[in-house]
Structure 1
Amino acid sequence: MSEESNMTQPVMIAAFDGWNDACQAATNVIRHLVGHYESREIGHIDCDGFYDYQVARPMLCHVSGRANLVWPQTTFYDITLDAGRHLYAQIAPEPNYHWKEYCSQSLRIAEELDVTKVITLGSMFSDCPHTRPLPIAVSDGECQCECDREYNGPVGIPTILDWSAADAGFEHTSMWVSIPQYLGSDDCAAGTIRLLDALGKHIGYTFDVSALKRRSEQWKTQASALVRCNDQLREYVEHLEREYDLKQRAEEEAGLGTPQCEQLVRETEAFLRQMGGE
């Protein structure tokens, strides 16, 4: 699809709390957009029947001295990016039951909004260094489960919604960012920025991420401090950096011809033998 088409046709993005949302990087995309741009709630999916309340528990909140009970729910937003330009967003905890029916209801709402494309967002823990751009995988037009076409294993609700959108005739894209697994579950603004950048390129729009950049730099600073204090972790991160750099170089040199590729293969094999002997 051309960039001009991406800019004019209604798009719905979707992200879900839980297993598909390492460090809340995916759902924080929608929270950032809702908080930064003019937005309004335009719909919900009734939570009854989709959630186990011992897993996704209702929350008791006090506002202006009054107690309110907040149940898990799916919320749809209309987000205005600029004059005449908007996108729709879906955010929810990952449902526990009846995924097929849940996706059917989601796509019925998308149809009512005249949406032509569904973009699912996810984040996952992975072996990657915080000192490099966080890896991001974008699958456009065919389902690429959990970021890997060779993947065999369990999937989450973003993948099911992606497949359901394809079956219903929607254009569909999935975007997944990888988060360093050694840093725990604190919010990762760097991952949210990576997803926003990928989403912006896809729809032909530049999102304002200035509010996230300070938090991203703070995340990197804290991660570097943690690594400096642990020799074993430092060696592990250095190993991840070498793997990352080799992969990047391989991608850059793949089109340069056979001699360069053969040299890279030899260097990679030597590196792997060295790591195996440690």
Structure 2
Amino acid sequence: MSEERDQRECVLLAAFEGWNDACQAATNVVRHLVSRYESREIRHISCDGYYDYQVSRPMLCRVTGRPRIIWPQTTFYEITLPTGRRLYAQIAPEPNYRWREYCRQSLHIADELDVDRIVTLGSMFADCPHTRPLPVDVSHDLDEAGRSCDCGANDDEGGYSGPVGIPTVLDDMAREQSFATTSLWASIPQYSGNDDCPQATLNLLRRLGRELGLGFDEGDLEARANEWNAKVTMLLRCSDQLADYVHHLEREWDRAQEARRAASENPRQAEQLVRETEDFLRNL
């Protein structure tokens, strides 16, 4: 994408709490941007008809000492960067009901804001080691041929098939309405627990910046990511079984990286490495 197009393009980021948001890594990208830059709420989608309140429960808060019920809702932000460029961001719990109607309402707001591109953010648990760069998977316009992967993630040439969440549905409906779409998904080690994963948030933020041709203020994310890595490493010292599992993931990751390097240099050698990797995995 050219720098001139970067300046013209109006982008809406979308992230949803729940199934699509392991360790809150995706929604924390939006929260980070809202906290680091001049931001204001500009639109909302009412919760009525979209949520099961036994799943997405209302919250009791106190405002100036008085109790107030906060219902789940969708909030749209306008984020103004120091360069003067504006981004829009949508954040919400994943709806329980009427996904198509919810997406139509979201896209109607995007159209009102003159949005050109919708970027959905997600995070998922995966078999990846925390001792290697956490993968960020990127796809454009739901085109599997255009899918790319950062940080050595395993990429299935056939593309993903299976259950999807609201980001994928929003992508699909946006494409049908002629919006450009980009999807960014971070992978998080499944053994690391459910606490926030600032490393995945940082990787998503950096990849988002490269996709948009922007350099974002990272704040304390790198320091928090280092703390997260140290904490997860400590878990390995408490469990030999977990340490062995992570060493297995490291070997698999390193073999995949070696195969990619060989593929770019020598296709015949790459085929041999793929066979060796398959034999290695079968014999585990």
TM-score range, shorter chain: over 0.9
Kindly report structure 1 stretches of 4+ aligned residues shifted beyond 4 Å.
Answer: none
Match of 2:21 in 1: 21
Instruction: Figure out how many residues of one structure are paired with residues of the other and give that number.
Output: 274
Match of 2:206 in 1: 197
Cα distance in structure 2, aligned partners of 1:130 and 1:18? 22
Match of 1:206 in 2: 215
Query: Any idea what the Cα deviations from partners look like across 1:100-132, whole Å, max 9, x if unmatched?
Result: 000000000000000000000000000000111
Match of 2:281 in 1: 272
Match of 2:50 in 1: 50
How many percent identity over aligned positions?
A: 61
> Partner of 1:75: helix, strand, or coil?
strand
Query: Any idea what the Cα deviations from partners look like across 1:199-239, whole Å, max 9, x if unmatched?
Result: 10011001111311111111100000001110000000000
Judge conservation of contact 1:11–1:119 (CA < 8 Å) in 2: yes
Match status 1:153 vs 2:155:
no
Judge conservation of contact 1:6–1:202 (CA < 8 Å) in 2: no
Query: Any idea what the Cα deviations from partners look like across 1:26-77, whole Å, max 9, x if unmatched?
Result: 0000000001111000000011011111111100011331211100000000
Cα distance in structure 2, aligned partners of 1:141 and 1:3? 20
Match of 1:32 in 2: 32
Judge conservation of contact 1:128–1:240 (CA < 8 Å) in 2: yes
Match of 1:239 in 2: 248
AA aligned to 1:14 is: A
Cα distance in structure 2, aligned partners of 1:210 and 1:88? 20
Larger mean Cα displacement after TM superposition, 204-213 or 130-139: 204-213
Judge conservation of contact 1:26–1:121 (CA < 8 Å) in 2: yes
Larger mean Cα displacement after TM superposition, 136-145 or 21-30: 136-145
Judge conservation of contact 1:7–1:204 (CA < 8 Å) in 2: no
Query: Any idea what the Cα deviations from partners look like across 1:59-102, whole Å, max 9, x if unmatched?
Result: 00113312111000000000011232110000000000100000
Cα distance in structure 2, aligned partners of 1:247 and 1:9? 36
Cα distance in structure 2, aligned partners of 1:7 and 1:24? 29
The unaligned stretches of length 5 or more in structure 2 are 148-154
User: How many Å apart are 1:271 and its aligned residue?
Assistant: 2.7
Match of 1:176 in 2: 185
Residues 170, 55 of structure 1: CA spacing in aligned structure 2 closer, same or farther, 3 A cutoff?
same
AA aligned to 2:8 is: T
Match of 1:119 in 2: 119
Larger mean Cα displacement after TM superposition, 227-236 or 246-255: 246-255
Larger mean Cα displacement after TM superposition, 236-245 or 246-255: 246-255
Q: CA RMSD in A?
A: 1.7
AA aligned to 2:17 is: D
> Partner of 2:77: helix, strand, or coil?
strand
Cα distance in structure 2, aligned partners of 1:191 and 1:46? 30
Match of 2:151 in 1: none
User: How many Å apart are 1:273 and its aligned residue?
Assistant: 4.9
Larger mean Cα displacement after TM superposition, 60-69 or 159-168: 60-69
Cα distance in structure 1, aligned partners of 2:101 and 2:275? 52
Judge conservation of contact 2:37–2:80 (CA < 8 Å) in 1: yes
> Partner of 1:26: helix, strand, or coil?
helix
> Partner of 1:153: helix, strand, or coil?
coil
User: How many Å apart are 1:15 and its aligned residue?
Assistant: 0.1
Match of 2:235 in 1: 226
The unaligned stretches of length 5 or more in structure 1 are none
User: How many Å apart are 1:262 and its aligned residue?
Assistant: 4.5
Judge conservation of contact 2:80–2:87 (CA < 8 Å) in 1: yes
Judge conservation of contact 1:77–1:88 (CA < 8 Å) in 2: yes
Cα distance in structure 1, aligned partners of 2:235 and 2:227? 12
Match status 1:215 vs 2:241:
no
User: How many Å apart are 1:269 and its aligned residue?
Assistant: 4.4
Match of 1:100 in 2: 100
